[in-house]
Structure formats: structure tokens, C-alpha cells
Amino acid sequence: MDINKLIIKLAELNPSEEQLRKLFTKYNLTYLLPAIQKSSNKLIQKEKFANENRLLSPFILDEIVINKIEEKYKLKVDKREIKGEILAGYKLYTRDKVVDNTLSSIIKRINPANAKAKA
């Protein structure tokens, strides 16, 4: 069973904590609880950011750069985040897609054979 579908179905039913505990105990499904918690946290994060355009970069970007990105993708950046794991470039999460223009992504696009060899 797909964990995400289970989480959505449970959310629709809106059972109490006691009902959930009884259900999972009765059907010996308590082993699923860690996976359900992890997946539900991801779904919550996804929903939280669903209406935001987020720009991630390794350092604070100049307004001119942000304006160019907004012009290029015809959108307004709602939130900016600094992410140390991005060495250079940026990653843009929009309402309907992810634009990955980080250095590591660009290198993989230039030389996909090299990226596969290291994986």
C-alpha cells in the first residue's frame, strides 16, 4: 500500500488518536508508524510551500540577480533561503516545478556520463 495514499485517506476520515491506535494495533500495523510519520511530514512541508516561489542560493543574492531570475521565469520570488550545500548557482521552487541551476546540476547536464560513473 502506498503510504501517501494511506495518510490522505486517514486525514479524510479524521479518526481520533485512540481510534488510530486501536486500528494499527488490531491489524498489527504499528511497524508502519515511522514511515507514516516521515511521509506525512513531507506532505505537510510540500503543502506549506505549495503557494510560494522559493529561491535557494549559497549566499545572499543581489537584487539585480533576483530581478533577472524573476524576469526569466515570469514570477515573483516570495521567499529566499541560504543553503550551504549549494556550492554555486541557485535552485528555484515554483508552484508547479523545480528549476535546478546549481553547479552540481549544471555539471551533470554538461557531462552526464561523468555523473553516472560517480553514482
**Alpha carbon distance, N-terminus to C-terminus of the chain:** 29
Verdict on whether the full-model pTM lies above 0.85 = no
**By percentage, how much of the chain surpasses pLDDT 70?**
88
Confidence at 38, pLDDT banded by 50, 70, 90: confident
Cα-Cα-Cα-Cα torsion 76, 82, 87, 88, nearest 10 degrees, comes to 30
Q: What is the pLDDT of residues 57-84, one digit of tens each?
A: 999 999 999 999 999 999 999 989 999 8
CA-wise closest residue to 95 among 40, 43, 49: 49
CA-wise closest residue to 3 among 38, 36, 41, 46: 36
Q: Which residue has the higher pLDDT, 111 or 74?
A: 74
Contact 51, 95 (CB under 8 A): yes
CA-wise closest residue to 53 among 91, 95, 83: 95
Q: Which residue has the higher pLDDT, 54 or 117?
A: 54
Alpha-carbon span 24 to 26, nearest angstrom = 6
